[in-house]
Structures are given as C-alpha cells and as structure tokens.
Amino acid sequence: MPGLPRPILLGITLSCLVASTAVQAKEQLVLAIGGEPDQGFDPLLGWGQYGNPLFQSTLLSRGRDLTPQPELATEWSLSEDRLTWTLTLRDDARFADGTPLTAEDVAYTFHAAAKAGGRADLSSLDHAQAVDEHTVTLHLRAPRITFVDQLMTLGIVPNAERDNGYSEQYGRQPLGSGPYQLVEWQEGEQLIVERNPYFYGPTPAFERLVFLFTGEDATLSAAHAGQLDIAAVPPALATKVPAHMQRLIMESVDNRGILFPMQPVNGEHAASGAPIGNDVTADVAIRQAINLAIDRDTLVEVALQGYGRPAFGPADGLPWSSRNERLDAPDLAQAEAILDAAGWRLGDDGLRYKEGLPARFRLTYPSSDTTRQLLAEVSAEMVRPLGIEMQPTGRHWDEIQREALHQDAIMFGFGSHSPQEIYYLFHSQHAGNGFYNSGFYANPEVDAHLDAAQAADSIEQANQYWQAAQWDGTTGYGLRGDSSWAWLVNLEHVYLADTCLDVGELGVAPHGHGWPITANLLEWRWTCD
C-alpha cells in the first residue's frame, strides 16, 4: 500500500464506498407471503406459534438441527427433577420504545399466556418467577418434554404494569424486542414494519418491509408486474417465472391431509354450534380403504407440480415419526376387500352402501386455496373407483368453523418442528379444541403413549412413545391403526423472489402460518445497484 499514490488510493476508497452504498441502496422490500393472523400479532393468542415472531423475541431460538440456541436467554438449565427451568437473560435486550426487557416481562408473559388459552401449551406451568433483573425460573407441575418448545416460540411481551405494557389492544399495536416494529397495519390489505432501533442483534439490511395480503391471483399478477420483491405462490401456479425473478424452493415439514370425523352422528353439537359426527367416516374400513386407494406420487405430480413428496403421517422424516409408516403403492384390491369385509356393498349406481347408508361425504377445503382444491378434487377422483364418493366442497374458513369442522372430512395442513403438535392432533384431551383434533379422535391407548412421551426422561425415550402412538403393534392413530387421517403430501414452499434478493440459506419451514421464509431475515441482502 505505501507504494500507491494518494489520488489512486482515494479513488479506490471512493469507488468501494459508492459500490457498497449502491448495494445497500434498497431500503424497502415488498412481500406478498400471506399469513395475516386473524387475532393480530399477539404471542399470547398464538402469533409466532411456529417461531420467529418478527416483532418479539423468544427466550431461545431453533437451530437448523432443531436444537435450542441462545436468543434472549444466554444460558439455560433444567433441574435434575425436570421441574425447574432457569434462564439467564442478555442485558442489552430492549423493547422498541427503548425500555429494557427484564425477567419481570418474561415471567408476566408466561403467566399471561397460560391464562390466555392461546396456542402455547403451558398447561404444565405452575408459576414463573423473576429471580433478579436478568434471571427467571419457570416451575412445572410435572415434567413435560415439549416445554422447551414454548421457550423457542413464545414471544416476550412487556409486563402489563409498566408503561406501554401489554393490553387487550396489543395484537394491533405490538411492542417487542424483535428486529422490526409495526408502523401500520391495514387489516386485509397491508402491514408496514420498520427496523427496531434497539434490536440487540445485527441490523437488518432493509429499513422497511411491506407485507401485502393479497389473494393468490393478485399476488401472481403483482409479481409479474414487477411490484413485489418476494411472493409466495401455490406450486401449481409457479410454472412461469417472470424474467426479473427467480424461483425459490424451501423445504418444509408442512403437510396436507384429510382429517376424518371419527364419531358417528348422534345429534351433538360443539360449543360453536357446529354439528358433530359423520356416519360414513366413523367407519374405520372407509378410512383405511381411502388411505390405500390414494396415489400420493400422482398427487405430488398433479397438485404440486412435483414440489413436494408423499406424506404418510403428520411428521414424516422427523424423529418422532415412525419410518415404517408408509405405503409403497396404492392397493385398490386390498381396499375393496376391506370394504367388502366391513359390509359396504357395491350398488348399481357404482356407489357402496351399508345398511342403506351410501358411502358419500363432503370433503371440505378452504375455497381460496388452490393447492387444497386440487388435492381435494384429485383425491376424490382416486377413491371413486372404490365406490366412495368424496364431494369436494369449497367453503370460507368461517363457514368451515360454523358448519363443517366436525362433520365433514377437511383438507387440513399442519407440520411443526415440535412433537407437541402430535399431542394436539391426537390426544382426546384436545378433541373438538380448535382445528387440531376437530374430528374428535379418541383412543385411550394412544392417549397413554402420548402422556408417556410428555413425561419421558429423555428426548430419545419420548420419541419411542411418540412413535408408539402412531402404531404400537396393536393400535395407533396412523395408517396401520385407526387411520384417523389420510395424509397426502409434504409440500415444498415455492416463492418467486427478485433476482437481486439474496435470501441466504433457507432452513426447513414448518406449516405456512407466520411467514416461515423470514426465519433468516437477518441474512437477507440486496445484491444489485
């Protein structure tokens, strides 16, 4: 360097400065990735249930290998009796109003979330205690293997007793210590967020993010018109990529499947007024036959344009799911034999009947979702040769809740990085509770396995119980047992992103709610002038 003349050195420096300024010039990103939460951005009511709540921080974060990593907590430990978690908080965490985040806020969040009855499973929490400003202890009533997941997903809100503390309006005006703060939210239209100047982590590359809540067709049109920097698109519509964009594929554990109502009709109604039960799907022979008849490879090809893989359970490939839970190919002959043995006789109209009851039921899907519509229509076509008529029926979500939730087969989607979801989906304790076990599935043996998993000494032991709940050699919620679902496909999330946007290394996404692609938002960069 000493050899270089000063003007040349100055020129090189200026060039670098200009270049780096140009690369940093993009200050705003426009995203249309769906996922607008009905209940606002309130972690106590379920916002961020799959992690990365954007406005708030969690105590721990989930690493790429799904292990806990430091976030707000720099150190953590679980007592020998597995009843007390002790966490040490970082001392530089501040809410977006500049006030420090303390152990009191953490204790308040856990107490309030337990009372709120949101998506966080804090039923085992006895109490949370702020030991000092930066140390908090969480005391459990009984050991619970999935409690650590709450540490990775529950965003910390400000104590209600402080200035700008938590209130009923929090979901509309969230205050947290995450990388961004909310500026404006026009429900059903757009959300504008800006950097939180007090964020303890690295400064995000983009000052402002604009989330557009558009339907699938509007999103696609906007992407083609060059109005979006990143857009989530259904796989079936991702065949043509605009010239200025690239197709991004994000692996996921996000799945789609058919939930069957498990109870026969007996005149009961849920608290919401929705009728419970379906005489056709309550018969295990029908459920097993459908599972055997569906050609999942074709579903992936037709409904997902190849962006996915067949699904046989709610957590395929994850340690708490059995590897033996799969079918090599559809087997119509066996499906027919099962139906025959169960007394479902083929009528002249091509439909099966049992004691005058036709093998016919509605398969409901949210009408705004192309992927679920395609899956419903193709699945119905696949079981038609058996003499079973699944009637694909598109409805709005509120209508599904009001009418269909407990009496129709529903095209649902789940997929989580935590086995807690298995507990929600199949434990009788959660029967009729929200969307999870809306089919009122109940099997005492499965309950026992699920409870044993929660109380297990180690994750390895818990995984054995989770797998036993799927099939223990005698019974289970899975394909070989009660066939309570017909799991169809595991999705790959498809995005169209501007070619100038470098999103780094994408992880494995959970179910689509909560913007999974933003999990590594802090790594995103703009690479063009």
Partner 1 sequence: MRQAQPRLRAAFSLGVTTLLVVGLVASQWLLGDFPQQMQFNARLAPPSVDHWLGTDALGRELWARTLAGLALSFWVGCLAALLSTLIALSLAALATLSARLDALVSLLIDTLLSVPHLILLMLIAFALGGGTQAVIIAVAVTHWPSLARVLRAELWQLRQAPYVRISRALGKSRWFVLHGHLLPHLLPHCLVGALLLFPHAILHEAALTFLGFGLSPSQPAIGVLLADATRYLSGGYWWLGVFPGLGLLLMVLGFERLSSQLRRAL
Q: Which one among 300, 376, 479, 503 touches partner 1, defined by CB under 8 A?
A: 376
Q: According to the binding rule CB under 8 A, does residue 399 interact with partner 1? A: yes
Q: Which one among 57, 102, 146, 370 touches partner 1, defined by CB under 8 A?
A: 370
Q: Using CA atoms, how far apart are residues 326 and 15, in angstroms rounded to an integer?
A: 59
Instruction: Compute CA 506 distance to the chain's CA centroid, rounded to the nearest angstrom.
Output: 16
Write out the two tokens for 63. 């690493």
Cα dihedral: 331, 334, 335, 341 (round 10): 180
Ramachandran area for residue 306 (φ above 0: left; ψ -120 to 50: alpha; else beta): left
Write out the two tokens for 237. 């519509």
CA 112-113-117 angle, to 5 degrees, is 115
Q: Using CA atoms, how far apart are residues 316 and 309, in angstroms rounded to an integer?
A: 10
Q: Using CA atoms, how far apart are residues 208 and 28, in angstroms rounded to an integer?
A: 5
* Secondary structure (3-state) at 224: helix
Q: According to the binding rule CB under 8 A, does residue 373 interact with partner 1? A: yes
Of residues 45 and 376, the one with the C-beta less far from partner 1:
376
Cβ contacts of residue 144 below 8 Å, gap of 6+? 124, 454, 455
Q: According to the binding rule CB under 8 A, does residue 391 interact with partner 1? A: yes
Q: According to the binding rule CB under 8 A, does residue 224 interact with partner 1? A: yes
Site for partner 1 in 300-359 (CB under 8 A): 301-302
Of 39, 170, 181, nearest to 105 by C-alpha is 170
Q: Which one among 220, 285, 410, 488 touches partner 1, defined by CB under 8 A?
A: 220
Site for partner 1 in 38-57 (CB under 8 A): none
Binding region for partner 1 (CB under 8 A) out of 273-281, 371-379, 417-425, 429-437: 371-379
Q: According to the binding rule CB under 8 A, does residue 297 interact with partner 1? A: no
* Secondary structure (3-state) at 64: coil
Of residues 128 and 376, the one with the C-beta less far from partner 1:
376
Per DSSP, what are the bridge partners of residue 128?
Answer: 138
Binding region for partner 1 (CB under 8 A) out of 156-164, 233-241, 405-413, 521-529: 233-241
Q: According to the binding rule CB under 8 A, does residue 394 interact with partner 1? A: yes
H or E segment and range at residue 208: strand 208-212
Name the minimum Å distance from CB 371 to partner 1: 11
Q: According to the binding rule CB under 8 A, does residue 367 interact with partner 1? A: yes
Binding region for partner 1 (CB under 8 A) out of 244-252, 363-371, 419-427, 515-523: 363-371
Of residues 107 and 220, the one with the C-beta less far from partner 1:
220
Name the minimum Å distance from CB 59 to partner 1: 41
Residues that bind partner 1 (CB under 8 A): 216-217, 220-221, 223-224, 236-237, 239-240, 298, 301-302, 367-368, 370, 373-374, 376-378, 381, 391-396, 399, 403
